[in-house]
Every structure is written in C-alpha cells, then in structure tokens.
Chains A and B, each alone.
Chain A
Amino acid sequence: MKYSIFSLARAALSGHKNWQRTWRDATPKDHYDVVIIGGGGHGLATAWFLASEYGIKNVAVLEKGWIGSGNAGRNTTIIRSNYGLPGNTGFYELSMKLWERMEQDLNYNAMVSQRGVVNLYHSDAQRDAYARRGNTMRINGIDAELLDLTAVKKMMPFLNFDNARFPVQGGLLQRRGGTARHDAVVWGYAHAASALGVDIIQNCEVTGFVRDANGKVTGVETSRGKIGAGKVGMAVAGSSSRVAAMAGLRLPIESHVLQAFVSEAIKPLLPNVMTFGAGHFYVSQSDKGGLVFGGDIDGYNSYAQRGNMPVMEDVCEGGMALMPMIGRVRLLRQWGGIMDMSMDGSPIIDKSPVDGLYLNAGWCYGGFKATPGSGFVFAHLLARDTPHEEAAKFRLDRFRRGAMIDEKGQGAQPNLH
C-alpha cells in the first residue's frame, strides 16, 4: 500500500487493521546473486540501489539481530557534506543529494530536516582551517558560508558570549546539512527494497564464509543455514574486523566506543545542528524535543557498546561551556555504539583481497550521514566490479600506497580521529 495522508485516512476508517508488514519477513533461499551481510542503513541502502539502479533484485540482506540494531540505531542523526579533502568532499555531497530525494524515492518519511549545521570556531587558526574547508566545499559546488561573530549571535543568541573561556568568534555553516530520523531511514530502505524483491532476513548471523577450491567466496554459513552467493558484500561497521577475520583478513580498523546522549523532551530551543570548536560537544534537538548530543570517543578499543563517565562529563562540560542555559535540562539516556575507526578517519569501500568478498567498512563517525551514498557506491561496486568515481579514493590499498585521506591529520592512531 502506498503511504500517504489519503491511505492513512482510509486506514483510519477500518481501525488500521489493513496495514501490511513494512517489509516482508523472508526465509532464506539457497542462493542469491548478492548477499549483503548487515541489515543496517548501509546494507539496506545497498540492496535498494542494487535493485532500483542496477536491476539486481535477487539479493538478500542478512541481519544477526533486528534491522537497524547496530550503529544505524544509535547515532546522533546528523547529515552533512562539509568535508575538506578530495575523496570525502565529493562522496559526502553525493550522499547529501541522495538524502534530498530519499523520501520521495522510498515513499517513506525519514524526516530529513535540512536545518543547517554550524561548526563554531574560537581562534584565528580554526577560522583559517574552516575557510580552507569551506572553500573546498564551494569549489565542489557544495553550499558553505563563513559566519562572523555578528552572524553567529544573530542565529544563536543563546550561546555564551559573555564569559566563555574560549569565546566564539564565528562559524562555518552548511545550510543543507541537518538531521534525519535514523530508524526511519532503516525502515524506509527496508520497505522499498523489500517491495522490489530483496529478501530481508533478520535473526540470521553469519558464522563463516563458504569458499571454493580457488578460495573465492561463494556463500556464507549462517545461524539459519548455508546461503550461496554470487558476491558477498560486508556492511557491518562496528564488527568489520570480526567478520573479515572469518575470511582470514586483517583490516586497518579498530573498534571504539562512541557515546551519545539525549535529554528529556523540551519545547524547541535549538534551531540547527551545532558543534563546539573548543571542546568535544555537538548537539541538535529532535522533533520530539530531546537534545541529542555527543562528543569524543572514549578512546580505548571496545565492543561493549557502553562507555564510562569521564567522556560523559567531558561532553556535558562542553555543552555547559557553550550553552549554560541547558544546566537544568536533564540528561535522560546515555548509550554507546561500536565505531569502525579506520587508520585515517575515512571509510573503505573496495573489493577485498578475497575474491567474491566486498568491503564497506571503516566509517568512523561518518556512517550515518553516508548511508545513502554508501549504498549507492557499494551497489555500483557490487554490480560493476569497479569503484564508483566518487568512491575511487576509498580503496583498501591507499594505506599501503600512502594515499591516506586524513581530515584530522592524526595518522595511524584511530582513537584520535
């Protein structure tokens, strides 16, 4: 049934008894052209683009739990394309353009809200770095504006301009940046992909790879039996090393915990997405009213999906330094996700050294905003066997060649990216 206000109104008359499942509950077939491991945003988007753009519909998405149970379901919902280095700039803009048409493509309201993203700066050096980045964006046809202090005051009069330790001097604004409802992105892709014939199989954990005599991957072993595949794509950020290890691969990736927080719902307070430049704090306000915020990773390798107090305190200190009006707003919930932290802070989308196995990994903090773009270029790679031009720099061998894409300039130390 097509979703619209009219179908809703009709359904209301029958007490909403006629709605169908948002996606089909599929049982695994023996063989698929493409099997995608990971029913998160990236895996489901990949399946949808395979079916809709490349006509490959004999596709399964395997999810060990419930779809969206990984980082797609525990992020801070920010979308933006304000990257400064070749490789990232074009890719994230491709993703942004796909965000802009997602809801109409999928017939699902993912609440894509282009409310603007402001990165605040507090020093001349930071301003210069943002100027460099903003100019890169503009040269790539992406919207960017450098705000001075007056403009920031006008846009966000509630910041601490009076007695801040590191006074705000201005900001880099991307008006097209914003937020999207993370779970709805997952459900929207599942809904649309399923309608095109993609099998979405939940509670199906991959336990190993099936290889032929030449070592080529020809399928996967799962908790629901063996499933054959022409090609296998991995989109399991957070667990990339664990899954790759089943194929004998070691990756330039570490798993780290990133915490996020939400406050009690309050009436609208923040108009946009904001990052503090003198501490670890970024924030937006959800449509439901909660302040959704986060900061730095805890800094140690972890698969525990929970963090510790020092980072929670650090993040709230940043929040209070920037906006002392949130002091009496209460923190409601704290959670943690596993980040695939790569060695240069940028993702990997490439064929793996193992024939038949394709990688989509290393998203660091960029995973959610990359969702549609990642699905698009990964589908291209799986369909055509060559990288999409906007993902051509995300090759696995870039580390070996020395062609890192290191926005933060921190080198091979993942916890600093």
Chain B
Amino acid sequence: MRIVCPFCGERELGEFTYLGDAKPVRPVAGASEDEVFDYVYLRDNVAGATSEYWYHGGGCRAWLKVARNTLTHEISSVEPALGAGAARVGA
C-alpha cells in the first residue's frame, strides 16, 4: 500500500501507522459513560469504503484522514486529519 501524504508526497506503507476509524468524534467534556463507551469501544467495522486515521511517523508526523476501501485496499483520498475527531458541541 502507498499513501500520498499531503505534505510529503507518495510514500510506502512502512512509514505510516494505523489507528482506526475516523468517523467517531470525541464526546464533549461531561459526556456520560455510555457515550464515551460508544466512542472508545464500538465500531462500524465497514467492509467497503471507510475513512480512517493514519500517522505519518516515518515522515512529517502528520495525522491523516485516509479514505480507503477495506475490501480492495484502494485509497481514494488523503487529507490532514486536523480537528477530525474534535468534540463538537451539539454533535
């Protein structure tokens, strides 16, 4: 697999570390145990198109949001993950 880092260009899989699904958003301060449990433990675990967090530790140390297909491993887009998991009031 090769990921096109928006800062470094196309790089080999070995430079990156995977974290997981980029869909969940961290609950706001004061959220209930149930809400945080859902955020920490439950996954859609989609077979198909997903967006997920990858860390370019072997390069610029950017966290990236990568749109990838878990059935084919094809990557359709890569963007910085800036604020992607930030708590959203009212979310």
How many chain B residues touch A (Cβ–Cβ < 8 Å)? 26
With a cutoff of 8 Å between Cβ atoms, the chain A residues found around residue B71 in the complex are 303-304
B14 within 8 A of A: yes
A415 within 8 A of B: yes
Contact A308-B37, Cβ < 8 Å, known A251-B42, A303-B47: no
Q: State which of B1, B20, B72, B73 has its C-beta within 8 Å of the C-beta of A254.
A: B20
Quick check: A252 and B41 within 8 Å, CB to CB? yes
Quick check: A242 and B47 within 8 Å, CB to CB? yes
Quick check: A412 and B40 within 8 Å, CB to CB? yes
Quick check: B1 and A255 within 8 Å, CB to CB? no
- Binary B-proximity of A384-412 (CB < 8 A = 1, otherwise 0): 00000000000000011000000000001
A300 within 8 A of B: yes
With a cutoff of 8 Å between Cβ atoms, the chain A residues found around residue B44 in the complex are 241, 245, 250
Quick check: B45 and A254 within 8 Å, CB to CB? yes
Shortest A227–chain B CB gap in Å is 23
B91 within 8 A of A: no
- Among residues 37 to 91 in chain B, which have CB atoms less than 8 Å away from a CB atom of chain A? 37, 40-45, 47, 50, 52, 68, 70-73
Shortest A104–chain B CB gap in Å is 39
- Binary A-proximity of B1-38 (CB < 8 A = 1, otherwise 0): 10000000000111001111100000000000110010
Q: In the complex, A299→B53 CA distance in Å? A: 12
Quick check: A251 and B19 within 8 Å, CB to CB? no
Q: In the complex, A308→B68 CA distance in Å? A: 15
Quick check: B47 and A310 within 8 Å, CB to CB? no
- Among residues 209 to 259 in chain A, which have CB atoms less than 8 Å away from a CB atom of chain B? 241-242, 245, 250-255
Quick check: A300 and B37 within 8 Å, CB to CB? no
Shortest B59–chain A CB gap in Å is 15
Q: In the complex, A254→B71 CA distance in Å? A: 13
With a cutoff of 8 Å between Cβ atoms, the chain A residues found around residue B21 in the complex are 301
With a cutoff of 8 Å between Cβ atoms, the chain A residues found around residue B73 in the complex are 302, 304, 308
Shortest B61–chain A CB gap in Å is 18
Interface centre among B20, B33, B41, B45 (most CB of A within 10 A): B45
Contact A400-B72, Cβ < 8 Å, known A301-B20, A301-B52: no
With a cutoff of 8 Å between Cβ atoms, the chain B residues found around residue A399 in the complex are 37, 41
Shortest A143–chain B CB gap in Å is 35
With a cutoff of 8 Å between Cβ atoms, the chain A residues found around residue B14 in the complex are 310
Q: State which of A245, A253, A302, A413 has its C-beta within 8 Å of the C-beta of B70.
A: A302
Quick check: A300 and B18 within 8 Å, CB to CB? yes
Nearest first, the 3 closest Cβ-Cβ pairs linking A and B are A241-B45, A300-B18, A303-B47
Tell me the B residues contacting A by CB distance below 8 Å. 1, 12-14, 17-21, 33-34, 37, 40-45, 47, 50, 52, 68, 70-73
